[in-house]
Amino acid sequence: MRKMLKMSIAAAMVMGIGSVSAQADGIDIVSNVKVKGEIRARFENVEDSGTVATDATGDANAFTNRLTIGASGDLFGTDWLSAYVEMTNVSALNNNYNDGVTNPNNKSTVVDPKQTRLTQAYIDAKYGKTNVRIGRQMINLDNQRFVGAVGWRQMFQTFNAVTVTNSDVENLNLFASYITDRNTVAYEGTADSRDLLLNAKYKVMPELTATAYAYMIGTQHDTYGIALTGDVAVSDGVKVSYRAEYATQTDPSMEKSGTDNSAVDVDADYYRLGLGVNANGILAGVCYESLSGEDGVAGGDTAFKTPYATLHGQNGWADVFLGNGGSPTAGLEDMSAYVGYKAKDFGTLKVVYHDFQSEYGSTDYGTEIDAVYSNKIPGVNNLTGSIKVADFDSDNVNYADVTKFWAMLTYKFASN
């Protein structure tokens, strides 16, 4: 609570100076200051039959809050140099859960440890349609299957990096980032790395966008892939969306000083085929996703891993497959389907069904049903509420039954 109070006072101070400029010898050091923020209060209940205490005493009931405050401004009176600084505090109103870091116990796990962190601090330098960003930053690429900020958890995943983006060529967006450190949702600055992320997105036509990428993750692996995505208007009010994607992983090439990659032997594949329909707000879709698994043969297939991904939105909201870089040793095949409804006054309702199997050996892991409803809260601008549930029913002795429930309020604010 003290940390939240201090951050609120700091925000008020920043807002107070937002309309003026800091000067030195007649030069504006910082001008055009803007402040934005978010308050996200959440209740999360977890029933995990694999918890040490398997009866009701092992259930987690976490009341947490995320307070994020950020300030941006132009530097030295220029229109091409700017800076952004952001602080995030995660507080807990109880300790009835295992956060895996500061509050280990026999409760089910909710990875939202109490902490206050400088989540972003970077400088942007623009020249035409090229931007160079230096410092701590969030990186969200495509559908976050490979790289994301893990925004579902209360603390963000961020990267210490140098990022260059360019859009000089019409319909082509280029992205390159060199990462020296990763700050996970639980720990800050402990994942020292040397990573190179490359992404090129080209809009071939209104109905087709092609994305090619190369993600070289330190001493772990290199990932090379291509995705074809688009939206097709079938008739008035009816739109079909699709995603077809393939990626392969090979031995790592970003070797750090004093590290030998010769012992690493990576040979993994990823496939995704998804199709969705929005018919005047009625939603429906299917998706097949495959991450290869180890076949036990020397020089054969290995498990496909996505350690920098926002995994919560990928293979079930119960987050059963977070370990081992997002894929079991034997790999993962996820066949899913969803139905829902979305309208301005109604909000969004969505129900998703997953059937999980291993990619190697075709072993049943289990099934999962997820559901979410979200909508704006009437009478309060920028306040939204959501209720969400995930129920994983295991068919494998290596996985426990897991049921999760969330109730959440999110309020966003800005100085202007």
Domain membership flag for residue 283: yes
Domain membership flag for residue 79: no
Domain membership flag for residue 162: no
Helix (H) or strand (E) holding 326: helix 323-326
pLDDT score of 72 more than 80: yes
Domain membership flag for residue 131: no
Domain membership flag for residue 355: yes
What total of structural domains would you count in the chain? 1
**Mean per-residue pLDDT for 238-258?**
89
CA 98 centroid distance within chain: 21
Beta strand 27-48 pairing with 402-414: antiparallel
pLDDT band at residue 372, thresholds of 50, 70 and 90? very high
Domain membership flag for residue 354: yes
Closest CA to 224 of 201, 199, 247: 247
pLDDT at 55 (0 to 100): 52
Q: Residue 345, class by beta-carbon neighbours within 10 Å (0-12 exposed, 13-18 middle, 19+ buried)? A: exposed
pLDDT band at residue 301, thresholds of 50, 70 and 90? confident
**Mean per-residue pLDDT for 311-336?**
93
CB atoms within 10 A of CB 81: 13
pLDDT band at residue 324, thresholds of 50, 70 and 90? confident
pLDDT at 262 (0 to 100): 59
Domain ranges, residue 363: 267-405
Domain membership flag for residue 415: no
pLDDT at 362 (0 to 100): 84
pLDDT at 11 (0 to 100): 45
Q: Are 365 and 357 in contact (CB under 8 A)?
A: yes
Domain membership flag for residue 325: yes
pLDDT tens, residue by residue, 120-143: 999 999 999 999 999 999 999 999
Answering whether pTM is above 0.85, one says yes
